[in-house]
Chain A
């Protein structure tokens, strides 16, 4: 509901005064660069840029303008500067190819930079080979829609695709980000909505939160990144209906949670990740209605976690359902479907009659001694797991699903 209000608020922000003029920029004419056009324009005007390639060395947009690219004109910074900086409110930038910003270790050069502004829309642009793609610093009420952002995939020259620093109430919808450091990075960004984005093959994370509270991300796909999504030092994040797929490798996760509280993880798909969810120092997290399919570890819940609830999830084809590194307290499992459950349902109520213990002895051994992974799927491991399930002696007694489902939840 809150996110809906934010959305409506964002829709109401573009003024369209009746006295507005249109300035046309085309190569070889009197107005051959956007810089000239901005100098000529007044607040409320429209700049239409015809097809062509324009050199743009940190063009500053300091008036309330609508800047429209016709047939994708190219703005090129030739690796010398930033491409475009927006410092005015109520700017709309649509339909450009923005490429080749400068890279450098001392300053964060960007393709499009928004600095201290409100009510700006950045839509339908293609960003290629920029250090940072779209960089929002200290902004409010911004929409970033349907942009395609491709980085260099080079560790030294890769900033983040979409970077937010100290922002509030930002909408990111329908963007595609690849080959950057983090696809989308939120630092001190609050009350934002991230939906329908696709983030793949980024070096570090598909999406990354640091000190960012009250954000929602939903219907996004995070495929084959260094790790899918990392949420750190953050409160009240909602993670809804996302897909985390093929985030593979050592110390790589679908979702990495560290020191977060009061988060909701609902309706997500975790498919073929090394670890679906990794949780450390994370309290009051609810994980419901998710599918964990064919992961190495569906979840690694460290002993520093408290008061977390896992209900109505499906766990199918994972090498390990749950592991931990110590004694778990106040971790609750209920009504989940586990394909490894071997109990029975005599009263036919759809719920198994004996509890399921998701932490296997072998998983505990691997947690202590990673080399023992070579015994995976061996007869002796099956045997000790069967014995341990029958007479638990080492695995945490408290961690069990009292009401395991006999059939998977239908979504």
Chain B
């Protein structure tokens, strides 16, 4: 009986491990997959969950884009989940495919990309400070990085 309980427990753990839920980022502890830096800034962090459920964490959207440039198969997989922190709500994930990305010299994002994600196009436009600032959607951002 006891072995059965343990077996069920282990099975539950395995099933839990396979779920596609986002893994919360432990700020100050987790390292960025792409640049190896410790993730600190709740405004810029990003996360990728592959079709197989593997989680990669990033300290900035530009790092996730850089990682996807090196792993195009993951980038093109429709089952991949891309999450980015909404700049106006630090620490809250949003779907990167539906987000808008502002590149503005006044944003000092961790890897120098000056890039922040917003839930809506008006929010991104409103945050513009520099005249040469540009707004991209997800597919434009990835193609920019190629």
Contacts and interface: CB of A to CB of B under 8 A. Distances in A.
B31 A251 contact: yes
Contacts, number: 38
Contacts of B7: none
A211 interface: yes
A203 B40 contact: yes
A258 B28 contact: no
B38 interface: yes
A146 interface: no
Contacts of A119: none
A299 B145 CA distance: 31
A161 interface: no
A204 interface: yes
Nearest to A253: B36
B90 interface: yes
Contacts of B112: 187, 210-211, 233
Contacts of A280: 36
Contacts of B31: 251
Interface string B1-43: 0000000000000000000000000011001000111101011
Contacts of A378: none
Interface of B: 27-28, 31, 35-38, 40, 42-43, 90, 108, 111-112
A232 interface: yes
A203 B38 contact: yes
B36 A278 contact: yes
B37 A155 contact: no
Interface in A189-208: 203-205
A90 interface: no
A258 B36 CA distance: 9
A411 to B, nearest CB: 30
Contacts of A230: 36-37
Contact of A226 (B38, B108, B111): B38
A204 B30 CA distance: 11
A258 B27 contact: no
A232 B38 contact: no
Contacts of A105: 42-43, 90
A399 interface: no
A203 B26 CA distance: 13
A204 B37 contact: yes
